[in-house]
């Protein structure tokens, strides 16, 4: 159960300004049902150029509904110049904070607002800003760079919490890390010179990596992992404890065990589960 503030709960249970505005001056749509979150934001201006009405329609979790509701409250009475300065952190702060795993909901609100303002200014068909880095969730390098910079992010996991990038197949992790390093001013790591290992040396290194880097996290949840065999670049393991019966065990293997072994040992390693 997420640790939601009272204000998040209030905006989730009693969302403000739900619905569509007919003849809206600005409309912004972000997300998709396939990704699990979708938001459409509407606003209408008064005769002096201030937002007199803001409404939303969303499909998503409690944080998505609460963030959208909060955003509409924040917008009413602002000029577009004032509105476009709203950040995702301000949306989260308005709610008294959001769990880090749900910060992407506040980012989604900010992105919907930007699209709605772009729509009003007559550039609704604006070309995608940047190149797609995360194919699973359609997130661009510019979106990741901006989010890292604005929220002082330092890890791939934090980027996933804020914009979902990297939370699918994991193929974009290297690109996300490169963006983080560029924003933080880090020099890219020099490519490691390949070292030929005997199968016995490889097994020993894998066992050490499992013991030091992987088992502790699994043990915390009542799970464990056992190295069964190594055939070439295929690492055969057996999950134990709660991990063995978990429906998401394949995610644990690919996005945690395999990723860690590739990162610390060799990028060509593949992890395969052995049953029984």
Q: Is the dihedral of CA 17, 23, 24, 26 positive or negative?
A: positive
Q: What residues act catalytically?
A: 35, 105
Tens digits of per-residue pLDDT, 228-252?
998 888 999 988 888 777 777 777 7
Q: What is the pTM of this model?
A: 0.59
What's the residue count for the chain? 276
Distance of CA 100 to the CA centre of its chain: 10
Q: Give every CB contact of residue 33 below 8 A, 6+ residues apart in sequence.
A: 59
Q: Which residue, 16, 3, 102, is CA-closest to 61? A: 102
- Mean pLDDT over 172-186 rounds to 89
**97, 143 in Cβ contact below 8 A?**
no
Instruction: List strands edge to edge, sheet with 51-59.
Output: 26-32, 37-45, 51-59
Distance CA 256, CA 225 (A): 12
pLDDT above 80 (res 65) = yes
> Mind listing the pLDDT tens digit for each residue in 100-141?
888 999 999 999 999 999 999 886 555 556 888 987 777 899
């Amino acid at each position: 159960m997420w640790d939601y503030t009272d204000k998040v709960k209030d905006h989730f249970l009693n969302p403000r300004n739900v619905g569509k505005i007919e003849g809206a001056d600005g409309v912004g749509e972000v997300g998709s049902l396939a990704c699990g979150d979708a938001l459409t934001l509407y606003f209408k201006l008064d005769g002096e150029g201030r937002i007199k009405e803001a409404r939303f329609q969303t499909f998503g979790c409690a944080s998505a509904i609460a963030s959208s509701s909060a955003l509409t409250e924040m917008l009413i009475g602002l000029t577009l110049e004032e509105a476009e300065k709203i950040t995702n952190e301000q949306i989260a702060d308005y709610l008294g904070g959001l769990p880090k795993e749900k910060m992407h909901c506040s980012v989604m609100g900010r992105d919907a607002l930007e699209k709605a303002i772009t729509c009003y200014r007559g550039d609704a068909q604006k070309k995608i800003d940047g190149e797609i880095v995360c194919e699973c969730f359609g997130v661009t390098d510019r979106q990741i760079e901006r989010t890292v910079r604005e929220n002082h992010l330092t890890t791939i996991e934090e980027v996933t919490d804020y914009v979902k990038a990297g939370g699918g197949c994991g193929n974009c992790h290297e690109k996300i890390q490169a963006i983080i390093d560029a924003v933080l001013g880090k020099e890219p790591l020099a490519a490691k010179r390949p070292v030929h290992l005997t199968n016995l040396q490889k097994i020993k290194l894998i066992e050490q990596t499992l013991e030091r880097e992987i088992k502790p996290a699994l043990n915390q949840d009542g799970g464990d992992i056992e190295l069964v065999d190594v055939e070439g670049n295929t690492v055969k393991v057996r999950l134990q404890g709660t991990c063995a019966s978990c429906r998401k065990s394949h995610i644990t293997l690919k996005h945690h065990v395999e990723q860690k072994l590739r990162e610390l040992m060799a990028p060509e390693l593949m992890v395969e589960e052995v049953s029984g």
